[in-house]
Amino acid sequence: MTENPSYGFDTLQVHAGARPDPATGARQTPIYQTTAYVFRDADHAAALFNLQEVGYIYSRLTNPTVAVLQERIATLEGGIGAVCCSSGHAAQIMALFPLMGPGLNVVVSTRLYGGSVTQFSHTIKRFGWEAKFVDFDDLDAVRAAIDDNTRAVFCESIANPGGYITDLDAIAGVADAAGLPLIVDNTSATPYLCRPIEHGATLVVHSVTKYLTGNGTVMGGAVVDSGRFDWSASDRFPSLSAPEPAYHGLKFHETFGNLAFTFHGIAVGLRDLGMTMNPQAAHYALMGIETLSLRMEKHVANAKKVAAWLEQDPRVEYVTYAGLESSPYFDRVERICPKGAGALFTVAIKGGYEACVRLVDSLELFSHVANLGDTRSLVIHAASTTHRQLTEEQQIAAGAAPNVVRFSIGIEDADDLIRDLDQALAKAAG
């Protein structure tokens, strides 16, 4: 396919990055299930290893199936390049890896997926990194948290689990003023609902496992590079601006320009961390993305209807869906997520923790799983599962209080989902 900036989203989600297989004419992208690739000759091999020529060496680094997925995701996000990896958590480490070092910190939103809170609170400390958690609705607090050792600002576009929408334009302004990259996890929104780069994001990360694939079959992650950040504007990002000893003093930003982060992610990140996406997962993700817009429209329509019904139910204390006019984030929907507020939100159930447990156990259509973004509607009690490792104070700050359940609304018939909720709420109240 010849890339054309005038192509619409629905066209790009089917065609971007993909071409008929040159060997067979296969229309669907083949699964290139191979470890290594034959070099033309010794000079060709040397040029690839010296980063003087782009091509395939070893599937830990690059693979033709994965390459199509990387180009498609980058195109849909409006980025210049992307690196796919083994999971969404891997993508977060891959995004931070070129930026961080011992004694350095990242300023992150308190409203994050529970696993991300744990990763940033505990795991990254093993690298000598630190995370500073801040309420991103308080811009002064975000500014105050940034210091000379800060190397990035991190948030989610639509925050998991509550469905809160971050004011990306405002946060990008704070990051820009400090000369720092803004990293946005766009998993819950997808590029169909939100394009963070258009709001000032430097990097976008995804759990490809979720809405992009859409059917709960694969694990995968992606880091999308906007190509807009000047990595040489200061000495704070030596991995990208200073000589790289492993490549005979090559300077990534000087050599690769606006593709510096993408090349570093492959040539150093995947080479040394080894968090590779397998080609079969990439193949499934590509097939899922072909229907992304169709699914997201149905997800949003169902979420609106279900959330509105839950909000008026007397057995419910509150619903956090940003698409409801009662939400304090409702005014951000049109500006940040103009095609809808997603399909992820939480509901506070009267009766507290025990009522939440009874509700989850009584639902029939909703699957009780530790996942989101499936075609099926999903439910989880975050305080006893995904956010269990957190203190109650952290749970509340993340929007996962003990009296709250998280819903990921699927693409079934919305009336059927409401009937299932009605009977489960009756049992929970009893």
Task: Give the mean pLDDT of 116-128.
Answer: 95
Q: So what's the pLDDT on residue 5?
A: 62
Structure tokens at 103: 């004694």
Q: Are 158 and 340 in contact (CB under 8 A)?
A: no
Q: Which of 194, 192, 208, 223 is nearest to 286 (CA)?
A: 208
Whether omega for the bond prior to residue 161 falls within 30 degrees of 0, making it cis, is: yes
Distance CA 40, CA 122 (A): 46
Q: Which contacts qualify for 269-273: CB closer than 8 Å, 24 or more apart?
A: 269/83, 269/94, 269/97, 269/98, 270/60, 270/61, 270/83, 270/85, 270/94, 271/60, 271/61, 273/90, 273/93, 273/94, 273/97
Distance CA 261, CA 258 (A): 8
Q: Are 162 and 345 in contact (CB under 8 A)?
A: yes
**Beta strands at 378-380 and 404-408: parallel, antiparallel or unpaired:** antiparallel
Q: So what's the pLDDT on residue 393?
A: 83
This prediction's pTM: 0.95
Residues 6+ apart with CB under 8 A from 313: 425
- CA end-to-end span of the chain: 58
Q: Which of 149, 102, 108 is nearest to 127 (CA)?
A: 102
Q: How confident is the model at residue 430 (pLDDT cuts 50, 70, 90)?
A: confident
DSSP annotation string for 324-389: STTSTTHHHHHHH-TT---SEEEEEETTHHHHHHHHHHH-SSSEE-S--S-SS-EEE-GGGTTTTT
Task: Give the mean pLDDT of 64-68.
Answer: 97
Residues 6+ apart with CB under 8 A from 128: 101, 102, 103, 104
DSSP annotation string for 203-217: EEEEETTTTTT-SS-
- Distance set, CA 151 to CA 102, 365, 403 (Å): 11, 44, 36
Q: So what's the pLDDT on residue 429?
A: 87
Distance CA 211, CA 209 (A): 7
Q: Are 338 and 297 in contact (CB under 8 A)?
A: no
Is residue 266 scored above 80 in pLDDT? yes
Dihedral sign for Cα atoms in the order 173, 178, 181, 185: negative
Q: Rg of the Cα trace of the chain? A: 22
Q: What residues pair up with 316 in beta bridges, in sequence order?
A: 349
Using a pLDDT cut of 70, give the percent of the chain over it.
99
The CATH code for residues 9-288 is: 3.40.640.10
Task: Give the mean pLDDT of 237-251.
Answer: 96
How do the domains of the chain map onto residue ranges? 9-288, 292-429
Length of the chain: 430
SS3 222: strand
DSSP annotation string for 110-122: S-S-HHHHHHHHT
Tens of pLDDT, residue by residue over 324-353, are 999 999 999 999 999 999 999 999 999 999
Q: Write the Ramachandran bin of 227: left for phi over 0, alpha for psi from -120 to 50, otherwise beta.
A: left
Cα three-residue angle 145-161-315, rounded to 5 degrees? 125
Tens of pLDDT, residue by residue over 279-308, are 999 999 999 999 999 999 999 999 999 999
Distance CA 334, CA 354 (A): 37
Tens of pLDDT, residue by residue over 67-88, are 999 999 999 999 999 999 999 9
Distance CA 324, CA 313 (A): 14
**Amino acid (one-letter) located at 403:** N
Cα three-residue angle 390-190-405, rounded to 5 degrees? 35
Residue 107 Cα to chain centre, angstroms = 17
**Amino acid (one-letter) located at 242:** A
Distance CA 208, CA 213 (A): 6
Is domain 292-429 in CATH 3.90.1150.10, yes or no?
A: yes
Tens of pLDDT, residue by residue over 391-414, are 888 777 777 788 999 999 999 999
Tens of pLDDT, residue by residue over 156-208, are 999 998 899 999 999 999 999 999 999 999 999 999 999 999 999 999 999 99
Q: So what's the pLDDT on residue 22?
A: 86
